[in-house]
């Protein structure tokens, strides 16, 4: 950490800023007492906002890994548990629409 007077700082400011950008910390003094510090800015990655700030981060090798045969079958819904029960949902059946209104029961 270099200590430099105010007068020297004025004369060599551009050079001192280059040194700070390279990672060096410089203390500016007045009458031998430290009054300021020239230091590199800490680099920070952009922070996620909103809901994304709570999402976990996964390495690319986990997300981009090829699926094995069992995973592919499971994604198709063909997976069965230890008892042989299929976890596939049955296809949805549509109910026929009623075209006519129900007739009122006739009084006898």
In this structure, what CATH number is given to the domain that contains residue 30?
3.40.1620
Alpha carbon distance 104, 23 (integer Å): 90
Spatial neighbors of 21 by CB under 8 A, at least 6 apart, are: 40
- Model's pTM, two decimal places? 0.41
Per-residue pLDDT of the chain (108 residues; tens, 9 = 90+): 889 999 999 999 999 999 999 999 999 999 999 999 999 988 777 777 777 677 777 788 877 888 888 777 776 656 666 666 665 555 556 655 555 556 666 665
Asked if residue 32 is part of any domain, the answer here is yes
Is position 7 within any domain? yes
The total of structural domains in the chain comes to: 1
Q: Is residue 93 part of a domain?
A: no
Question: Is residue 108 in a domain?
Answer: no
The range of the structural domain enclosing residue 19 comes to 2-38
Asked, for residue 79, whether it belongs to a domain, the answer is no
Is 8 inside any structural domain? yes
Q: What are the strands, taking DSSP E only, across the chain?
A: 2-5, 26-30, 33-38
Identify whether 29 is part of a domain: yes
């Amino acid at each position: 950490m270099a200590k430099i007077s105010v007068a020297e700082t004025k004369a060599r400011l551009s050079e001192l800023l280059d040194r700070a950008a390279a990672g060096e910390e410089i203390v500016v003094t007045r009458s031998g007492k430290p009054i300021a510090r020239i230091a590199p800015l800490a680099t920070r990655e952009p922070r996620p906002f909103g809901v994304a700030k709570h999402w976990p981060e996964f390495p690319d090798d986990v997300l981009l890994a090829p699926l094995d045969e069992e995973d592919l079958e499971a994604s198709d819904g063909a997976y069965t548990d230890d008892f042989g029960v299929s976890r596939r949902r049955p296809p949805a059946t549509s109910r026929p629409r009623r075209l006519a209104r129900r007739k009122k029961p006739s009084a006898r």
